[in-house]
Amino acid sequence: MKNTILLTACCLLLGLGRTSVLVAQQVQKFPERSTRLYVRTIPPGADIKLDGQSRGTSDRLFKVPPGVRKMTVEVELDGHYPKRQEVEIRGGRITRVELELEEQPQPVVSQPPVNPFKEPADWGADQVTGQPDTPRAGDYRTAWASLTPDGQQEWLVLEYRETVKPAEIQVYESYNPGAISKITVFDPGGKEVEIGKPSPKGIAIAGGIVVSKFPVKVDFPVRRVKLYLDSPKIKGWNEIDAVGLVDAQGKTHWAAKAEASSTFADRSSGRYAVAPPPPEAKIPEGAVKLSHVDDTADGKRSFGGSGQAVLFDRPAETKHVAAIQIFASRYGYPRPPNEDFHVYLLDQDHKVIKDLTYPYSMIERGAERWYTLAVPSVEVPEKFHVALSFNAHRTKGVYVGIDEGVEETHSLIGLPDRGYKPVTEGYDWMVRVYLVSDAQAIKSEPAVGGDDEDALAGFDPAPILARNRPASI
**185/334 same-domain check:** no
pLDDT at 470: 37
**404/346 same-domain check:** yes
Give the CATH number of the domain where residue 213 resides. Answer: 2.60.120.260
SS3 55: strand
- Whether 13 is covered by a domain: the verdict is no
For 232, the domain range is 125-266
**150/203 same-domain check:** yes
Instruction: Please determine, for residue 152, whether its predicted confidence score (pLDDT) is greater than 60.
Output: yes
Cα gap 151→471, rounded to integer Å: 10
- Whether 2 is covered by a domain: the verdict is no
Within 8 A by CB and 6+ apart from 471, the residues are 149
Instruction: Please determine, for residue 19, whether its predicted confidence score (pLDDT) is greater than 80.
Output: no
- Whether 420 is covered by a domain: the verdict is yes
Contact criterion met (CB below 8 Å) for 309 and 411: yes
Instruction: Please determine, for residue 21, whether its predicted confidence score (pLDDT) is greater than 50.
Output: no
What share of the chain has pLDDT > 70, as a percent? 78
**pLDDT digits over 32-82, tens only?**
678 889 999 988 888 899 998 888 888 888 999 888 889 999 999 877 889
Give the CATH number of the domain where residue 445 resides. Answer: 2.60.120
- Whether 235 is covered by a domain: the verdict is yes
**pLDDT digits over 162-195, tens only?**
999 999 999 999 999 999 999 999 998 889 999 8
Contact criterion met (CB below 8 Å) for 358 and 341: yes
**391/343 same-domain check:** yes
**95/219 same-domain check:** no
Instruction: Please determine, for residue 449, whether its predicted confidence score (pLDDT) is greater than 60.
Output: no
**139/258 same-domain check:** yes
**pLDDT digits over 288-316, tens only?**
999 999 988 889 998 888 999 999 999 98
- Whether 1 is covered by a domain: the verdict is no
- For every residue of 111-138, DSSP letters joined together read -PPP-TT-PPPTT-GGGGSSS----SSS
pLDDT: which is higher, 256 or 267: 256
Longest dimension (CA), the chain: 151
**95/129 same-domain check:** no
**446/311 same-domain check:** yes
**pLDDT digits over 246-261, tens only?**
999 999 999 999 999 9
- Whether 114 is covered by a domain: the verdict is no
Mean pLDDT, the chain, whole residue set? 80
- For every residue of 9-48, DSSP letters joined together read HHHHHHHHHHHHHHHHHHHHTSPPPPPEEEEEEESS--EE
pLDDT: which is higher, 24 or 450: 24
Nearest to 57 by CA among 66, 65, 48: 48
**313/441 same-domain check:** yes
Number of domains in the chain: 3
Give the CATH number of the domain where residue 93 resides. Answer: 2.60.40.1120
- Whether 432 is covered by a domain: the verdict is yes
24: left (phi over 0), alpha (psi -120 to 50) or beta: alpha
**364/451 same-domain check:** yes
SS3 342: strand
Contact criterion met (CB below 8 Å) for 411 and 290: no
- pTM of the full structure: 0.43
- Whether 465 is covered by a domain: the verdict is no
pLDDT at 352: 96
Instruction: Please determine, for residue 201, whether its predicted confidence score (pLDDT) is greater than 70.
Output: no
**359/227 same-domain check:** no
Report, as an integer, the average pLDDT of 343-365.
93
**310/450 same-domain check:** yes
**pLDDT digits over 74-129, tens only?**
999 877 889 999 999 988 888 999 998 887 764 443 333 434 444 567 888 999 99
